[in-house]
Structure 1
Amino acid sequence: MKNRFFVWGMTCLLGLSMLSCDKVKEDLDILIKADDLIRYSVMVQVNEATGEIPEDLSISVVGEDADYVYDIAGNKELAISGGLITLGVHPKHEPVEGDPVRFSVKISGPDYVSMIVPVRIDKNQFSQIKELKIVNASTPPPTVAVAKEEAALASDGTPAEPITVSSPTNAVTNEVTSVTVPASTQFLNAAGTPVVGSSVSMSVVNYNTKSSETATLFPGGKLNATNVKGPENKNISAFFMPAGFASINFDVNGTAIKKFSQPINVAIEIDPQYKLLASNTTIKEGDKIAIWSYSEDTGDWQYEKEGTVSTANGKLLVPFTTDHLTVYSIAEYVETTDCTSPTAVFSASWLKQDTQPMTLEIWNEDLSKKLSSETIVVSDGLEVVLNDLPAFAVRYKVLSQGAEIASGSIADPCSGGQVNIILPAPAVPLVGITLSLTVKCPDKGTVIPPDFYLYYKNAGAPDTEYKLLGIVKQGKLSTTLLEVGKRYDFKAIYGDRKKFIGNHLIDKTDMSTTVGVNDNLGSVVPDQNRAILIEECSKL
């Protein structure tokens, strides 16, 4: 499959050689465009909730269009490198109007709380960026509290007496989730078969819903979901407003426990400042609120029952019983099944032909809760469909390098239409830097590398400082984020290849270059590089 998409050439780092190939034509790779090219891509960036770059993560793709998803280099076997992977859609299965490509990304790893994140790609949405936060259960952030305990079982594999496990509190998170398993309860696997062992390992992960990280840590990585089984078992799309949520996992002899022979007791303490959507009043004892479950296997939401807010030890909580384990959320919702998404149009004439990654945040109307956040590579006139908005008024903020530069309201996010976002010019005019790379093939003319995502940081800065520079499209990237006279480190990840250029000087505004077989192709294995280039050019 890979060979159908791309021909591997040689020299210059995935297009990073565009940063002046006179200096970096050294044992680096470039990709040369073939006839069948992945045009639709999703760059997935995974960081720990603490900001660290996770290692040893596993990734897979599931869902209705999963068979047509590859990494950007055409590989079906997926691997995350440095917390990054770019996924692409088979060119013969691209989205069409009214029929987007849909799949889910499953990510897990040793001691990480697994996650499954839905992805939707609409027609003409050629690139998008998914920034995901994954929780390391051993070193969680203060907004996440984790309990890990083990309890002995009787000879028949059931508790001789009730077992209780509760998440801890800390300076930031005061809410607790507790689980109690009655004596003589049989532990069952997903198929309902009893699992017998001498002990049970228990994990409870409780999330602070007052945190600005709520939307990114919520199951699915966002508050909106399209795969929801609502009240009356009706299939709907919904936007959730959680007052509390927790992930509960049990394990016996290495087998995940999914069910129980009798109901167990769960109590999730909720945010005492949570405001009810209908009345905008603070939640209180006696109020009713829905209990939802989320399948970490399928990414589906299920309405469980209505819960009643109670008090215990001066705290608000929602107690309930269940016979199965999963992620549970105490949340209100608004249905978004019939919503029509608006389109944001960015006006930034000062960018000229340049681009700049910016952050688009969505907040509730009184700016008390951040509902979503995404990175968008902005250009003048860019149009972005604002999917996943709720059916109530919201506010947006646009941030450039952490500073808010524009804001506004969307009164009815479900009515479609156009949202015009004007980005004011900075006080000091920015200088654009053009990076461009093409490859000369004998008797073939000039060939352009396929698109990829490029990262940068100040030379010598820690790896955690890498930020998105932009998307190299048709071998070219124009950006306002680099400065002439400064040195940078660059990183590109393409398929399973990760490439770097360190301490590179930007010495002019036009860093364009073309590479051919008669050029200087490095001092380490130039003859090998030249032979590879000639061979691969012959395949075009």
Structure 2
Amino acid sequence: MKLKYRNYIRPIFYTIFGLFVVFACQKINPFEDVELTVNTDIYKAPILLRFVDGNADATKVPEGLTVTISGPDKSLVLDDAGGKDYTVIGNVLPLVLNKNVKPSEANPIEFTVAVSGVGYVSTSKTITVVSADSTLAFDVPLTSVASPPHGTAAATSVLSLTTGSTINVPATADKAETAQITIAPGTQVKDATGNVINATTVKTQVVQYGTETQEALTSFPGGFAAENVAMQNGTTTEGSFITGGFVAVDMEAEGKKVTSFSKPIDVKVGVSTELENPETGQKVHEGDKIPTWSYDSETGEWKEEGEAIVTKGADGKLTATFKAAHLSYWNLDWYYRGCSNRSTTLKFRVASNINTYTNSYDFYGYLYLVAPNGSRSYYTSISNFDVLNGNLNNGFINAGRAPNNFRVQLDIFSRNSSALIGRSAAFDPCSSTPVNVNVSVPNIPPYINIDIDFTVKCSNKTLNIKPSTWVDFYDSIDRRWASTYARSGKASTTLREGRPYTFYTYYDGKSYSGRVTFGKNSSTIVTSGGIGITGNTSYNASTGRVSVLASYTANDCK
């Protein structure tokens, strides 16, 4: 790791240099055996993306991931060391913005993070920043092909281009629908440059997302708030999708990624018999037309393609059928343009039975679109929600992308029990008026307030660095993460009292970790494998707070 602190301490060096000149004639070094401590808080809007498995039963986090940054403001996005080496550390990606940025609701900064990895469906997350002082943390669900989320299913096969072939995605216990991709005999496949790949077979992977489980909906690649939508009339807009089903199709021939075909392929996607058509308020039936959209997981762009026709089989099941001339992720969706105030940050005013701080990561919210006919469709989530009575800090950024003829409703859940603990009335997403939400939390676990003082000790220099960095806490009992951001080494958070945590910090492509239990007794931080964090904790009975002194050693401070 190279700790890049030149920008932080250049003024200090100038002062030191002047003092050396003064003392030079006396051959005295006034700083001999003196250890400098330097703060490192110059970048803006720290962002943490944690890539998680969309399957709630998964016991391992995604690994071996790579990311790319695109979008209108990609040049302003930096890694946490101030460069552009966007490295996923385990399953975590820390980012910051250029120190000169001044984002606002009127002039937000937007960029898209695309993520891919062997064995996972590629996806992307578009991030909007409206304040340079904000700290943003997101959980991004990934779909494992080997063990997909409930309500999804995958199939892989080698298809013949010479004789033509079909691949079928089967129904499962929690997804009654099937999907089918058919390649016609004599079809040629092409690469990204449009050149024909000389191949007779093609490796094919299809993942189908149903519409009846929350896991499938939250794992939906790209999400339902669409920031970059190319319409058939040549315009680009943004808004929201209500999905009728989704298939992620990947093909490879002779080691090259397939992007298009000489003959369109036939795509059949099963449609739930319980799915409501938001245009009519009635369940989807034979003869309905559902618009089709392609999705580029590398750029986050949606493109209007055409329509799928719904047919009904002898078994009573519904299928939407269409042709695809190019390879993409394909979505059956009704699309609605958003409000004109696209970057509105909507606030929620909480009334609850919680009057002391809890950990917001123990609570989360789902937002639903409410159609004029009253039907609800999942829209997006708030991955952590502060349930403290009177709180007004939970933000819904880009509320204006919700359809302007729909309303939105917020449901709040406890991660401890997955129980619904609060619900707002349906509200206008185009308004900037705070929304009231009543929350009642049962069986509140004991929490304790924590103050962290973090230091990086340079073994090759008489220098300490107070890092500005994310600090993550992992509760192995509940398999749950919590995060806070340390500015110049200082951070505060609230965690479960008496729980053992592994906590991590990150910098320049490396992670550092230690184990500790936060309680009313002093404790020692135990190094947790790899490059370790050491230190201790102490409890102040008069303030009811735990102080944490933590550090790790770096041997390559430059």
Q: Is TM-score (shorter-chain normalized) higher than 0.5?
A: yes
Shift of 1:325: 1.0
**Hey, what's the Cα distance between the residues in 1 that align with 2:444 and 2:167?**
57
Equivalent runs, 1:204-223 vs 2, <5 Å:
204-220=206-222, 222-223=223-224
Name which of 529, 547, 551 aligns with 1:512: 547
Equivalent runs, 1:327-346 vs 2, <5 Å:
327-336=329-338, 338-340=340-342, 341=344, 343-346=346-349
Q: Determine the structure 2 residue equivalent to 1:137.
A: 145
Taking a change above 3 Å as real, the CA distance of residues 502 and 267 of structure 1, as seen in their structure-2 partners, is same
Q: Determine the structure 1 residue equivalent to 2:229.
A: 228
Q: Determine the structure 1 residue equivalent to 2:312.
A: 311
Shift of 1:257: 1.3
Taking a change above 3 Å as real, the CA distance of residues 422 and 6 of structure 1, as seen in their structure-2 partners, is farther
**Hey, what's the Cα distance between the residues in 2 that align with 1:135 and 1:319?**
24
Moved more, 143-152 or 373-382: 373-382
Equivalent AA in structure 1 for residue 347 of structure 2: A
Equivalent runs, 1:363-374 vs 2, <5 Å:
363-365=368-370, 369-374=377-382
1:476-534 deviation digits (Å, cap 9, x = unpaired):
44444332x5543323334423222224352223333678xxxxx99xxxxx88xx8xx
1:384-437 deviation digits (Å, cap 9, x = unpaired):
244255221222122344444432123211233222345568776965423132
Partner SS for 2:198: coil
1:442-475 deviation digits (Å, cap 9, x = unpaired):
xx999854242321326xx4xx814215444564
Percent identity, aligned pairs only? 23
Q: Determine the structure 1 residue equivalent to 2:510.
A: 497
Shift of 1:376: 3.2
Equivalent AA in structure 2 for residue 130 of structure 1: F
Q: Determine the structure 2 residue equivalent to 1:194.
A: 196
Shift of 1:94: 4.0
Moved more, 249-258 or 305-314: 305-314
CA contact (8 A) 2:421 2:441 kept: no
Taking a change above 3 Å as real, the CA distance of residues 505 and 269 of structure 1, as seen in their structure-2 partners, is closer
CA contact (8 A) 1:61 1:106 kept: yes
Q: Determine the structure 1 residue equivalent to 2:46.
A: 41
Q: Determine the structure 1 residue equivalent to 2:471.
A: 453
Taking a change above 3 Å as real, the CA distance of residues 488 and 38 of structure 1, as seen in their structure-2 partners, is same
**Hey, what's the Cα distance between the residues in 1 that align with 2:181 and 2:500?**
54
Shift of 1:5: 5.8
Gaps of 5+ in 1: 8-29, 153-158, 516-520, 523-527
Shift of 1:194: 0.9
Q: Determine the structure 2 residue equivalent to 1:375.
A: 383
Partner SS for 1:108: strand
Shift of 1:343: 1.8
- The structure, 1 or 2, with the larger RCO (C-alpha pairs under 8 Å, 6+ apart) is 1
Taking a change above 3 Å as real, the CA distance of residues 451 and 401 of structure 1, as seen in their structure-2 partners, is same
**Hey, what's the Cα distance between the residues in 1 that align with 2:271 and 2:298?**
25
Name which of 99, 102, 124 aligns with 1:116: 124
Moved more, 207-216 or 364-373: 364-373
**Hey, what's the Cα distance between the residues in 1 that align with 2:211 and 2:106?**
34
Q: Determine the structure 1 residue equivalent to 2:434.
A: 418
Equivalent AA in structure 1 for residue 470 of structure 2: F
Partner SS for 2:100: helix
Equivalent AA in structure 2 for residue 244 of structure 1: G
Q: Determine the structure 2 residue equivalent to 1:482.
A: 496
**Hey, what's the Cα distance between the residues in 2 that align with 1:339 and 1:437?**
41
Taking a change above 3 Å as real, the CA distance of residues 216 and 164 of structure 1, as seen in their structure-2 partners, is same
Q: Determine the structure 2 residue equivalent to 1:525.
A: none
1:355-407 deviation digits (Å, cap 9, x = unpaired):
63331221244686432222236364425244255221222122344444432
Equivalent AA in structure 1 for residue 402 of structure 2: P
Partner SS for 2:213: coil
Taking a change above 3 Å as real, the CA distance of residues 68 and 271 of structure 1, as seen in their structure-2 partners, is same
Q: Determine the structure 1 residue equivalent to 2:93.
A: 85
Equivalent AA in structure 2 for residue 490 of structure 1: F
Equivalent AA in structure 1 for residue 395 of structure 2: V
1:315-364 deviation digits (Å, cap 9, x = unpaired):
21121122111011111121115245352144479556776333122124
Taking a change above 3 Å as real, the CA distance of residues 478 and 422 of structure 1, as seen in their structure-2 partners, is farther
Name which of 395, 413, 417 aligns with 1:384: 395
Q: What TM-score, normalized to structure 1?
A: 0.80
Equivalent AA in structure 2 for residue 407 of structure 1: R
Q: Determine the structure 1 residue equivalent to 2:482.
A: 468
1:406 paired with 2:406, answer no
CA contact (8 A) 1:284 1:316 kept: yes
Equivalent AA in structure 2 for residue 176 of structure 1: T
Partner SS for 2:496: coil
Shift of 1:37: 1.5
Shift of 1:230: 2.5
Partner SS for 1:213: helix
**Hey, what's the Cα distance between the residues in 2 that align with 1:117 and 1:452?**
19
**Hey, what's the Cα distance between the residues in 1 that align with 2:150 and 2:213?**
10
Equivalent runs, 1:48-59 vs 2, <5 Å:
48-50=53-55, 51=58, 52-59=60-67
Q: Determine the structure 1 residue equivalent to 2:249.
A: 248
**Hey, what's the Cα distance between the residues in 2 that align with 1:511 and 1:395?**
38
Shift of 1:286: 0.8
CA contact (8 A) 2:285 2:310 kept: yes
Shift of 1:4: 4.9
Equivalent AA in structure 1 for residue 360 of structure 2: Q
**Hey, what's the Cα distance between the residues in 2 that align with 1:493 and 1:297?**
25
Partner SS for 2:44: coil
Equivalent runs, 1:61-100 vs 2, <5 Å:
61-100=69-108
Q: Over the residues paired in the alignment, what is the CA RMSD in angstroms?
A: 3.4
**Hey, what's the Cα distance between the residues in 2 that align with 1:4 and 1:97?**
32
1:22-76 deviation digits (Å, cap 9, x = unpaired):
xxxxxxxx99523x62230221111122233011111222222222212223342
